[in-house]
Structure 1
């Protein structure tokens, strides 16, 4: 049977004509009234696009017999956007549309326009930042946006100290504050961060003693000794009539006086009616992340040093030549890389490769990667560096046959935006970047066109300078910063392969390099690292995982301590990073040795 199929032409034309008729008021059979504004509509179109309107017009309700219908709980602008979406599947938004999308979440939930509700949630998720995470968390909770709940909650707990200083938090109701400060996974080093946030909220709202007492019972007390050492803060005037605070002050006096019964309180803070310590703030542990950059299908691996357990951490997207970094505020990011375009064939490789500009951050609370704003420049084989919470993308290549880039850009998580910065003195790829205080050092190495060069970027002045070059033209196996010095492992070309041989240490105060060319024993063939933890260096080699508390002088690997013989380097080009004081591994599958 022959079929004449013009649906690809007729359906868009039908949609366009129906919307034109709505706008002109032609053949409409109902009028929606929202806050004094009238919207002519077609009942059948609304019923087809919304179960809410379908029930209104087909279930015997009064509105089914009326031409004029009042809609409550929806703003006029939101109603206009909802109708645009029902008729056309599109919503036109201005650049400053954040509040509009939040209103659309509420309207689409009420009117049961599921596709619009989902689209609004997807639009909001990558735009969650500390400045809006509180309002988005409670919005998502109210309107069943589960993914937005997770994104907002992770931002809230991981940046709680920052979030607690913002007006969004200070304007919350008491019950909302209690819910947030009671979260088991607040990303704070000690209970004082939560305590000071509570005091700030109390001062802002002029709360009385009963309110303070309720809040104080939810302030995490770990570490209790730190709280006790801050007796002056605890005796702040806003806590003067709070029995809970008075008890804690008395405990502080006992600790300072060395009384024995204070120790009992410290070991059992629940005796004062306090909430137990943070589940995940009571222990400090390093997590070493191993990243294979040259195999696009390989997962990341995460090794938790306290339990000596290895986990598999899936990447957010498939790519090779990507870059990763653990920022100074302890967040794991992945960016860029080469991806395969299977739809386009290349005569040389049969697969078209292209560089991407993706940028993701890992949420260990929910074991998810959250997409953030893409970089301005698509790139691979580049370096990431971090100063504070900012992340810098440095150099790289735009495509496999392209020249090395000198482009530098900075990501600001407060705004979820990238900003172009001063360019590298010369294009570079295959390099390493590390941070000392506010300065970023770029180590070029053999894989870079600049070989021995080392560049220093002063973030405070947005300028680049050259510093002392590396001791020799060698491949860099890894680089890290410990005690304000750069530690790096260099590999030499021996017997048709790269073999790690030398540890080199750079001191920025003297602008000099020291090196130990006999650092790596002959039988060690592969090295990953070094990487700095809380108070030690880690180095992974074919013998296992080694640790060292450096003295500042290069010492042979044989003088390091073997920490775990079961942790060995992965094949291929790998890099390692350290999440210091890592506190949560949620839902990751373990790797057996």
Structure 2
């Protein structure tokens, strides 16, 4: 190297603080990595050929790939040929493509980077026209200006799947000024259409938001879209206790490690492409002695938490998916004894509701970024609540008789009421066992487990799905569940985006069956 013959070597673009970290590592063998310093540390290590420092920084970057950082890290990894990081970023961008479509971040990428992204089979789009609009038809005033786009149209067009576009979309594209004004653009599109006539659908086009229920025995699960009458049931052996879906659409279930043992829990993660559950970690089962035990698996911004509540204590643990370990968080003190509690994630916080008989509902919230709990104003409503679910910045709660639906606004810390139960046409003589609320496709749903008196068959147990009509302000019957019975005692209905071909492809192994919501309820009722 020429530098070996020089008395003084100038390292261009190297800050004193970063070089100080490198010197500290050389002398002590310890490396201190943070999200603010990791990229310049990686660059410096690459320049100085310090393989251990570079690889350590690469692993740290890989562990911090998320929606807010994936585009920037994708650009960085592409420059430095960090393939593992680049692939993780590409997967994250493809999964959340709709959020990035038309953004300045996306449009600042090179043409090669853009074409790699839009070539991805798992691009999270429901319509192919979205891809065209994102990369070639951006209406915002961005650096991706018209002459630049015209120049690169021939490079980008082959990666748009024209066979997935509607005839109206194709006509609109051909009439677009970008195409009409570009020499040979129309001809190029027609050639691409002929060549790409059999390109397969993207996974986002096969994705449907569905809710998940488990049988009371825990050996079967039911994926459902009750509005469309779609029910898919699959066998499993995870014996669930509580579950959650992260913002990245990762489905986690906390269940018994073995059915005949209550000494250990196991955390399971759902493998979408394999349609199976994979065990991730073990967790000690908390023995509450005589106390009732309430357990919740909760996601906040992609971070998983396990909340344990008894009459005497609260314990909160945070899961690190990269090290597969759990870490303790701060916990609040319980001032009063309560009879029931519900916890839910909303507005980037965990909200815990506790209540005792004939008393106001206590509200506490946990801020993960500050690792801090605080108390909120009590409810003016005396609500013997059964369950809660979040939609946007509001939390919906219902009582055990389904006579009240109360809403807590996390922005204003205020409560207001919604209409509750409509008399079921199944019978006026009903006895509700349990209620589970869930939010599906931005609509409020409830699974009501109740019994009715039948003159011919005696007492019949029916599990029914209701939908809240926000325009009429009433609950409406939607469907009756297939034969279970399905667990509603521990309210847990994870909602996730499911790729139907993955479910269907595994039907021979998982015993999936389809049901129609149009069949009469009595066919699926279980007799008590």
Measured against the shorter chain, the TM-score band is 0.5 to 0.7
- Cα distance change of structure 1 residues 506 and 217 upon mapping to structure 2, 3 Å threshold: closer
- Cα distance change of structure 1 residues 100 and 210 upon mapping to structure 2, 3 Å threshold: same
2:417 aligns with 466
Query: How do residues 142-153 of structure 1 correspond to structure 2 at under 5 angstroms?
Result: 143=80, 148-153=85-90
- Cα distance change of structure 1 residues 313 and 113 upon mapping to structure 2, 3 Å threshold: farther
| Structure 1: gaps spanning 5 or more residues | 1-60, 252-264, 363-367, 398-402, 516-529, 531-536, 543-567
Inter-partner Cα distance in structure 2 for 1:99 and 1:335: 33
What is the TM-score with the length of structure 2 in the denominator?
A: 0.59
**Cα distance, 1:156 vs. partner?**
0.4
Structure 2 residue 400 is matched with structure 1 residue 445? yes
- Cα distance change of structure 1 residues 445 and 572 upon mapping to structure 2, 3 Å threshold: closer
2:172 aligns with 231
Partner secondary structure for residue 159 of structure 2: coil
2:244 corresponds to which of 317, 324, 329: 324
2:154 corresponds to which of 208, 213, 218: 213
1:243 aligns with 184
Residues 355-405 of structure 1: CA deviation (Å, up to 9, x unaligned): 88765759xxxxx97899x9987699745467xxx66643257xxxxx986
1:454 corresponds to which of 377, 395, 405: 405
1:164 corresponds to which of 75, 90, 101: 101
Residues 530-577 of structure 1: CA deviation (Å, up to 9, x unaligned): 8xxxxxx683433xxxxxxxxxxxxxxxxxxxxxxxxx8579857444
Inter-partner Cα distance in structure 2 for 1:71 and 1:133: 29
Residues 410-459 of structure 1: CA deviation (Å, up to 9, x unaligned): 99xxx999999966727998613264x8754222437xxxx854222446
Inter-partner Cα distance in structure 1 for 2:94 and 2:330: 31
Inter-partner Cα distance in structure 1 for 2:395 and 2:73: 34
2:41 aligns with 104
1:29 aligns with none
Inter-partner Cα distance in structure 1 for 2:70 and 2:287: 44
1:592 corresponds to which of 498, 503, 510: 510
- Cα distance change of structure 1 residues 302 and 104 upon mapping to structure 2, 3 Å threshold: farther
1:52 aligns with none
Q: Do the aligned residues in 1 keep the contact of 2:31 with 2:53 (CA within 8 Å)?
A: no
**Cα distance, 1:182 vs. partner?**
1.7
Q: Do the aligned residues in 2 keep the contact of 1:321 with 1:337 (CA within 8 Å)?
A: yes
1:431 aligns with 387
Partner secondary structure for residue 407 of structure 1: strand
What is the TM-score with the length of structure 1 in the denominator?
A: 0.54
- Higher percent of residues as strand: 2
Inter-partner Cα distance in structure 1 for 2:7 and 2:480: 74
The higher-RCO structure (CA 8 Å, 6+ apart) is 2
Q: Do the aligned residues in 2 keep the contact of 1:128 with 1:152 (CA within 8 Å)?
A: yes
- Cα distance change of structure 1 residues 83 and 140 upon mapping to structure 2, 3 Å threshold: same
**Cα distance, 1:582 vs. partner?**
2.8
Inter-partner Cα distance in structure 2 for 1:511 and 1:404: 24
Partner secondary structure for residue 541 of structure 1: coil
Query: How do residues 102-141 of structure 1 correspond to structure 2 at under 5 angstroms?
Result: 102-109=39-46, 111=48, 116-117=53-54, 119-121=56-58, 123-125=60-62, 127-141=64-78
Residues 486-528 of structure 1: CA deviation (Å, up to 9, x unaligned): 443134699xx9954666554444444567xxxxxxxxxxxxx
Inter-partner Cα distance in structure 2 for 1:422 and 1:126: 34
Structure 2 residue 496 is matched with structure 1 residue 541? no
Query: How do residues 372-391 of structure 1 correspond to structure 2 at under 5 angstroms?
Result: 382-384=342-344
- Cα distance change of structure 1 residues 369 and 510 upon mapping to structure 2, 3 Å threshold: same
Query: How do residues 246-285 of structure 1 correspond to structure 2 at under 5 angstroms?
Result: 248=189, 270-271=193-194, 276-281=199-204, 283=206, 285=208
Partner secondary structure for residue 44 of structure 2: helix
Q: Radius of gyration: which is bigger?
A: 1
Inter-partner Cα distance in structure 2 for 1:453 and 1:470: 7
Number of residue pairs the alignment of both structures matches: 435
- Cα distance change of structure 1 residues 98 and 306 upon mapping to structure 2, 3 Å threshold: same
